[in-house]
Amino acid sequence: MKRFLELSLALMLFCFPSCTKEKLIIDEVSAREIETPSSEEEPEQAETKPLIVVSPDDVIEILVRADGAPGMYLGEDGEVHGFYVDLEKMVMKEMGQAYHFYPYSSIADIFVGFKSGIYHSALSTPDVPDYQALFDLSIPYEILHYVTFVRVDNNEIKGDTREEIIKSLYGKKVGVQTQGHIYQALRDYKEIELVEYETTTKALEALNAGLLDAVPDVKRIGEYYRNLKGWNIKPVGEPIINHEICTSFSKALDPSLVERYDKALKKLIDEGKVKTLWESYFGPMAESDIP
């Protein structure tokens, strides 16, 4: 325990000498500024930054998106709720691991918090190449399908196939999370103008305000906030993106934590407890939702 605290403090002081655990200062930091280390830097980093070993008694700080309902969100009671939160509680109990949830509202919190060692894991992370390079990922536990949201009066963006819908986005302003997985999936389509926001929920709000033409997002998230806030938006067509979902961990941590996490998660999956929890939130789990 003492070694864990000493190493965490050293990393915090090295990266953020003016920060405390209670208040992480990320002024004017964006995910665009967070880059994977070059091959020339990696050997030096490995020598100067020993990995943090996490024991079951050490408290791991878990990042939870504040506006990702119904999967995860910050409630009016000041507590985090949702499927991913309840799943994580199950995994932590199976591991016998001490933990603490911390709500976040920008992807920069993950990049900067992971790099510093202040935060240790984040819920619901898509398994995509960019994230594989930046984070250590758990085994997947669901597949998410991303449809295209438009304003209700928009009849231009449409299609019967993924390809047709993407082609109808050419020349349009499409809202995405800054450097997020949807951005990564669409960035090679130069005909689409990608407009970046801290979260896709904030992009959906901009869509409702008429600032965007479309926003790809999980159908249940877009519909949840549409109904909650009375937004004039609708989903169209089939999913254009499908991603396996994992829990991400800081690469500053010794891999033994992910190994223990995967063992506990797999046990819950094999026992059917993850599926039961999922269906209590979202209804019947189709084969296309299972990794």
pLDDT-derived band at 47, boundaries 50, 70, 90:
low
pTM for this structure? 0.81
92: Cα within 13 Å, side-chain hemisphere: 20
**Cβ-based burial of 236 (10 A; exposed 0-12, middle 13-18, buried ≥19):** middle
Kind and range of the H or E run holding 236? strand 233-249
How far apart, in whole angstroms, are the C-alpha atoms of residue 187 and residue 206?
20
Examine the domain organization and report whether 44 and 130 are in the same domain. Answer: yes
Q: Are 257 and 249 in contact (CB under 8 A)?
A: yes
Judgement on whether residues 163 and 101 belong to the same structural domain of the protein: no
Q: Is residue 119 part of a domain?
A: yes
Q: Are 4 and 55 in contact (CB under 8 A)?
A: yes
**Residue 239 has what pLDDT?**
96
How many structural domains compose the chain?
A: 2
129-170: pLDDT as tens digits: 999 999 999 999 999 999 999 999 999 999 999 999 999 999
Asked whether residue 203 is domain-assigned, the answer is yes
Verify that 115 and 12 share a domain, yes or no.
yes
For the chain, the average pLDDT equals 87
* Range(s) of the domain holding residue 73: 2-22+38-142+245-284
Answer yes or no: do 167 and 136 share one domain. no
> Per-residue pLDDT tens for 85-133?
999 999 999 999 999 999 999 888 899 999 888 999 999 999 999 999 9
Confidence of residue 13 (pLDDT cuts 50, 70, 90): very low
Do 214 and 192 share a structural domain? yes
Residues 6 and 120 occupy one common structural domain: yes
Q: Do 7 and 64 fall within a single domain?
A: yes
pLDDT score, position 89:
98
- 8 and 131 in a single domain? The answer is yes
